[in-house]
Amino acid sequence: MKTALICGVSGQDGPFLARLLLEKGYQVVGTSRDAQMASLANLDRLGIRDRVRVESAHLNDFRSVLQVLSKTKPDEVYNLAGQSSVSLSFEQPVETLESISLASLNLLEAIRFTDRPIRLYNAGSSECFGEAGDRPADEKTPFRPRSPYAVAKSAAFWQVANYREAYGLFACSGILFNHESHLRPERFVTRKVVAAACRIAAGAAEKLRLGDTKVCRDWGWAPEYVEAMWLMLQRQRPEDYVIATGETNSLEDFVAAAFSEVGLDWREHVVIDPSLLRPSDISVGRADPGKAAGELGWKAKRRMRDVVRSMVEEERAQA
């Protein structure tokens, strides 16, 4: 039986990954800064809370990272931890950099120090590409980060690449484009849109306030993306992969689809609020996930409208 350590098990991707690994026969251990006080609601929502062991670990503390690796002796480590909101990173740039870049460095150095054949997956981000123009971004597209979050993710990506080259670690990054689910908190715009549409359809007298609805992104379904993470660690040698659907839509398209699912015209319920605009943003995100299809055999099954439909169904089921 393999053991997997998931750092960031309480977020969106962690519970889906934990469920997948449990189905594959893994022993799954998750980390939280304080295991006894951690909010593990998303594990509960997937019905797997009692099957995931949770250990206390603070990834910004090298000694803490070393201790949890020594205690759990994992075969695979999935680094999904860190401040995950692009918008919040403008307000908390230091916390964002430390929780992503320093944490990744501590994991890499601790794995090197233990001298065990641990395989590491690092959660990269399409935000690293910045404005890539009309050409879809692939693994060779240069990084031009436009937020503190993207800067931190870029640093972590190159740390992984450096340790792989310098020390021969099996370490790789998945450069994931936007991937959503009902486990997203409402501070993420996709869940904010879906939750508001469902409340309004149920009779709530409110307006949905959004920033720039012209931005375009590649939106996929999170439960599918965690399978790509696992596949990367099953390869003979570590490489980085872009994970995406290959389809780009505007936020306006996403909003329209969400309100259409509940039988409403979004234009009657949405207000554009300039105060919600970011200091800098990416206007269009396009992806070329061809390498993942060719080498991992992974292709996204659900596109944006499928994602919206699934999120609306889950939102109504929880109401």
Encode pLDDT of 193-230 as tens digits: 999 999 999 999 999 999 999 999 999 999 999 999 99
Q: How many helices (H) and strands (E) does the chain have?
A: 12, 13
SS3 state at 30: strand
pLDDT value, residue 280: 83
Distance CA 121, CA 133 (A): 28
Structure tokens at 22: 């449990």
Q: Evaluate if residue 133 carries a pLDDT over 80.
A: no
At residue 236 the predicted structure's pLDDT band, cuts being 50, 70 and 90, is: very high
Domain architecture of the chain: domains with CATH: 3-179+222-243 (3.40.50.720), 185-217+248-287+298-318 (3.90.25.10)
- How far is residue 158's CA from residue 167's CA, in Å, rounded to a whole number? 14
Three-class secondary structure of residue 136 per DSSP: coil
Q: What is the DSSP letter of 143?
A: P
For residue 83, what pLDDT is reported?
85
Task: List, by residue number, the catalytic residues.
Answer: 125, 127, 149
DSSP string, 210-225: ES-TT-EE--EEHHHH
Helix (H) or strand (E) holding 45: helix 41-45
* CA gap 75, 65 in Å, rounded: 15
> In the predicted model, is pLDDT for residue 318 greater than 90?
no
60: buried, middle or exposed (CB in 10 Å: 19+, 13-18, 0-12)? middle
pLDDT at 85: 86
Instruction: Tell me what pLDDT residue 84 has.
Output: 85
Q: Which pairs from 185-194 meet CB under 8 Å and 24+ separation?
A: 187/85, 187/87, 187/88, 188/85, 189/251, 190/219, 190/254, 190/307, 190/311, 191/311, 193/254, 193/255, 193/258, 194/258, 194/308, 194/311, 194/312, 194/315
Alpha-carbon gap, residue 115 to 106, rounded angstroms:
14
Instruction: Give, rounded to a whole angstrom, the gap between the first and last alpha carbons of the chain.
Output: 39
Per-residue pLDDT, 134: 80
Contact 64, 58 (CB under 8 A): yes
